[in-house]
């Protein structure tokens, strides 16, 4: 049983070998507020973040464009906070060590940060 | 167990591959927390002249992060061809599109810089914008909301009836939520708090004639089950409410509504006005040169404030006692006014938690402080506080320089906000992943 865990650990560590010169550390806290540090390769980070950003845009814009004008309130800004998680392929990364970002959608030519 | 083990292994990878102490220690480690005396801590200023290898490593790491984010964003297609033909659309209407992209950088307790994950405090917030669509923000740009606290946006000339009307939906929602038993008491107390807040911001609207002026004042209160409104954020399960006041430019001879305040509230109001005046003078003295050499310019300064039981206003250090946030903005095109001298020669730093180590540090280094049951107020020399902000500006310039060097092809860094914790020595250190910011400096890119 112990050997099985060891194999999993080695497998988890292997993807990071050799990527240190172009590595990007992910830094955060876990659920118990303990510090967590994970190193990912730059190429992997850019690819997965790009996938996530595209997915957010492709999901949000059709829904926003379907909204009709009219009524007392007009939606001008939408802020979406995203954690890049296993469902879009981050794989072995620890749940509390997911890179996050926020995307601000607007339909104004003169927007401000909300 | 598996998670812990994986984290350990991954941590070992980081440890083996990247120097954890990549960020100069005196950029993020405060003297009172590092066990050094002030003269020893000052001597570590030499570490700012860090070995070339270390500086090169930090530069490369930061460049890598900016490049990776730029590459990620450049994968986004443009979608500006779906503008609604509806004739009712507003004049500034355009198709829905991704306007901003925000990421956070963080520094670990061991001095490693990286991208912040889901939990933790950002050391630097970075805002990206597609360059050919971007323009300068209305000053001040408003920071992203991170909470869902019910709030009231208030102006100094808002009639009492309008305040009540705007509070009503929030009051009903709070009562419907079941956490407040006495609706009438809540309505009465919250309205009174709103009117007091209005009286305070009326004082802030007075133009002291400085280059820097208060652009926003945010006050958080807690409400207990009986409907009583308390000025400080508690750590319990009370209902929270936020008062928010903002203006987009300074104005001369502001119209203010004069409201008679209770003695304690009047004292807080007076002290707050003095705090604002002194801080504006500090900022004016420090930023007299105006520009950051890297093409980024600081346009906003945020500071978390608190009040002692006697009404003394100071900068809050740590958690649990933040009364509110004050934002200072500057008219970036306004000619620099010759800085005026401040009346007070010290800045109050309020710490709610009684840290024996901090008090020992203060005693050992001749830093005056007053200790009461509720908090400790340290007296930080104003000259040292100014030096601290000057150093913070230099740290901010480093990040700005890299942001201006390593953009994406289409998306570029438009704005950045380094966050700092305030030391009892007056120094400012970048907030680490588990810390809380007392001060934030906001820069925008002049080259958009």
Question: Mean pLDDT, chain B, as a whole number?
Answer: 75
How large is the average pLDDT for residues B163-186? 83
Q: What is the pLDDT of residue B418?
A: 92
Q: What is the pLDDT of residue B6?
A: 33
Q: What is the pLDDT of residue B105?
A: 93
pLDDT single digits (tens) B35-48: 544 443 333 333 44
Q: What is the pLDDT of residue B420?
A: 93
Say whether pLDDT at B419 is over 90. yes
How large is the average pLDDT for residues B22-26? 82
Instruction: Give the range among B70-74, B147-151, B361-365, B423-427 with minimum mean pLDDT.
Output: B147-151
Say whether pLDDT at B139 is over 70. no
Say whether pLDDT at A50 is over 60. yes
CB B432 within 8 A of CB B121: yes
Q: What is the pLDDT of residue B319?
A: 60
What CA–CA distance (Å, rounded) separates B117 from B200? Answer: 38
Residues 44-73 of B with CB under 8 A from A: 61, 64-65, 67-69, 71-73
pLDDT category at A5 given cuts 50, 70, 90 is: very low
Q: What is the pLDDT of residue B169?
A: 81
pLDDT category at B104 given cuts 50, 70, 90 is: very high
Q: Which residues share a beta bridge with A39?
A: A25
pLDDT single digits (tens) B367-412: 989 888 778 899 999 889 888 988 898 888 888 888 887 656 788 8
CB A113 within 8 A of CB B141: yes
Closest of B301, B300, B304, B280 to residue B437, by C-alpha: B304
What CA–CA distance (Å, rounded) separates B125 from B107? Answer: 12
How large is the average pLDDT for residues B283-298? 70
How large is the average pLDDT for residues B236-261? 64
Q: What is the pLDDT of residue B126?
A: 92
How large is the average pLDDT for residues B251-268? 64
Contact B360/A at CB under 8 A: no
DSSP B378-408: EEEEHHHHHHHHHHHHHHHHHHHHHHHHS--
Percent of chain A with pLDDT over 90: 0
Say whether pLDDT at B14 is over 70. no
Percent of chain B with pLDDT over 90: 6
Say whether pLDDT at B13 is over 50. no
Contact state of A30 with B11 under an 8 Å Cβ cutoff = no
How large is the average pLDDT for residues B226-247? 71
Q: Taking the CB of residue B253, how many other CB atoms lie within 10 A of it?
A: 8
Q: What is the pLDDT of residue B337?
A: 40
Complex ipTM, two decimals?
Answer: 0.76
What CA–CA distance (Å, rounded) separates B440 from B122? Answer: 11
Q: What is the pLDDT of residue B38?
A: 41
Q: What is the pLDDT of residue A17?
A: 37
Q: Min CA distance, A87 vs chain B (Å)?
A: 16
Say whether pLDDT at B183 is over 70. yes
What CA–CA distance (Å, rounded) separates B192 from B170? Answer: 15
What CA–CA distance (Å, rounded) separates A11 from A18? Answer: 14
Contact B76/A at CB under 8 A: yes
Contact state of B117 with A70 under an 8 Å Cβ cutoff = no
Contact B9/A at CB under 8 A: yes
Helices B52-73 and B382-405: crossing angle in degrees, nearest 10, is: 60
Secondary structure of residue B370 in the 3-state scheme = strand
Q: Which residues share a beta bridge with B444?
A: B297, B415
B137: left (phi over 0), alpha (psi -120 to 50) or beta: beta
pLDDT single digits (tens) A83-97: 765 343 344 454 445
Contact state of A39 with B18 under an 8 Å Cβ cutoff = yes
Say whether pLDDT at B433 is over 80. yes
Say whether pLDDT at B296 is over 70. yes
The burial class, CB within 10 Å (0-12 / 13-18 / 19+), for A63 is exposed
Among A5, A22, A114, beta carbon nearest to B144: A114
Q: Taking the CB of residue A58, how many other CB atoms lie within 10 A of it?
A: 12
Instruction: Give the range among B101-115, B184-198, B205-219 with minimum mean pLDDT.
Output: B205-219
CB B300 within 8 A of CB B292: no
Pairing of strands B313-317, A23-29: unpaired
C-alpha dihedral, B270 to B272 to B276 to B277, nearest 10° = 20
How large is the average pLDDT for residues B3-11? 36
Task: Give the total residue count for chain B.
Answer: 448
CB B316 within 8 A of CB B322: yes
Say whether pLDDT at B358 is over 60. yes
pLDDT category at B11 given cuts 50, 70, 90 is: very low
Q: Which residues share a beta bridge with B330?
A: B212
Q: Min CA distance, A72 vs chain B (Å)?
A: 12
Q: Which residues share a beta bridge with B240?
A: B222
Residues 250-309 of B with CB under 8 A from A: none
- DSSP type of residue A46: H
Q: What is the pLDDT of residue B119?
A: 82
Pairing of strands A100-108, B212-223: unpaired
Residues 129-158 of B with CB under 8 A from A: 135, 137-138, 141-145
């Amino acid at each position: 049983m112990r050997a099985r865990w060891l194999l999993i650990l080695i497998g988890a560590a292997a993807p990071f070998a050799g990527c240190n010169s172009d590595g990007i550390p992910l830094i955060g806290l876990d659920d118990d507020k303990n510090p967590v540090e994970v190193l990912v390769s730059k190429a992997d980070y850019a690819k997965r973040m790009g996938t996530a950003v595209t997915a957010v845009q492709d999901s949000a814009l059709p829904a926003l464009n379907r909204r009709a004008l009219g009524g007392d309130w007009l939606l001008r800004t939408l802020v979406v906070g995203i954690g890049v998680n296993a469902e879009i392929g981050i794989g072995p990364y620890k749940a509390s060590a997911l890179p996050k970002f926020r995307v601000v959608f607007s339909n104004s030519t003169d927007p401000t940060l909300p | 167990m598996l998670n812990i083990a994986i984290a350990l292994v991954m941590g070992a990878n980081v440890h083996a591959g990247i120097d954890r102490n990549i960020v100069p220690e005196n950029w993020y480690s405060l003297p009172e927390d590092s066990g050094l005396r002030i003269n020893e801590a000052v001597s570590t200023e030499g570490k700012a002249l860090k070995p070339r290898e270390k500086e090169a490593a930090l530069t490369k790491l930061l460049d890598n992060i900016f490049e990776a984010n730029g590459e990620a964003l450049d994968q986004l297609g443009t979608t500006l061809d779906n503008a609604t033909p509806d004739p009712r659309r507003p004049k500034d209407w355009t198709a829905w599109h991704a306007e901003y992209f925000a990421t956070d950088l963080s520094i670990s307790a061991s001095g490693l810089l990286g991208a912040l994950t889901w939990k933790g405090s950002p050391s630097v917030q970075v805002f990206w914008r597609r360059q050919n669509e971007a323009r300068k923000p209305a000053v001040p740009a408003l920071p992203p909301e991170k909470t869902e606290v019910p709030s009231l946006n208030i102006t100094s000339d808002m009639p009492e009836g309008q305040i009540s009307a705007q509070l009503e939906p929030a009051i009903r929602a709070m009562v419907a939520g079941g956490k407040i038993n006495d609706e009438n008491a809540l309505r009465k107390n919250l309205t009174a708090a709103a009117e007091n807040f209005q009286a305070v911001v009326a004082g802030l609207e007075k133009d002291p004639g400085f280059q820097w002026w208060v652009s926003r004042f945010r006050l958080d209160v807690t409400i207990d089950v009986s409907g009583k409104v308390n000025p400080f954020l508690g750590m319990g399960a009370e209902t929270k409410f936020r008062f928010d006041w903002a203006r987009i430019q300074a104005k001369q001879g502001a119209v203010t509504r004069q409201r008679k305040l209770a003695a304690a509230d009047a004292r807080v109001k007076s002290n707050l006005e003095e705090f604002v005046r002194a801080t504006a003078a500090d900022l004016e003295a420090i930023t007299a040169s105006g520009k950051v050499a890297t093409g980024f310019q600081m346009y906003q300064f945020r500071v978390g404030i608190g009040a002692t039981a006697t009404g003394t206003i100071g900068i809050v250090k740590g958690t649990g006692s933040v009364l509110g946030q004050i934002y200072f903005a500057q008219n970036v095109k306004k000619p620099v006014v010759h800085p005026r001298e401040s009346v007070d020669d010290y800045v109050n730093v309020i710490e709610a938690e009684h840290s024996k180590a901090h008090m020992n540090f203060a005693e050992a280094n001749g830093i005056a402080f007053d200790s009461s049951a509720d908090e400790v107020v340290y007296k930080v020399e104003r000259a040292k506080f100014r030096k601290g902000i000057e150093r913070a500006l230099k740290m901010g310039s480093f990040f700005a320089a890299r942001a201006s060097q390593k953009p994406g092809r289409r998306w570029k860094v438009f704005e950045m906000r380094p966050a700092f914790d305030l030391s009892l020595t007056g120094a400012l250190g970048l907030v680490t992943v588990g810390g809380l910011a007392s001060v934030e400096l906001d820069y925008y890119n002049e080259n958009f």
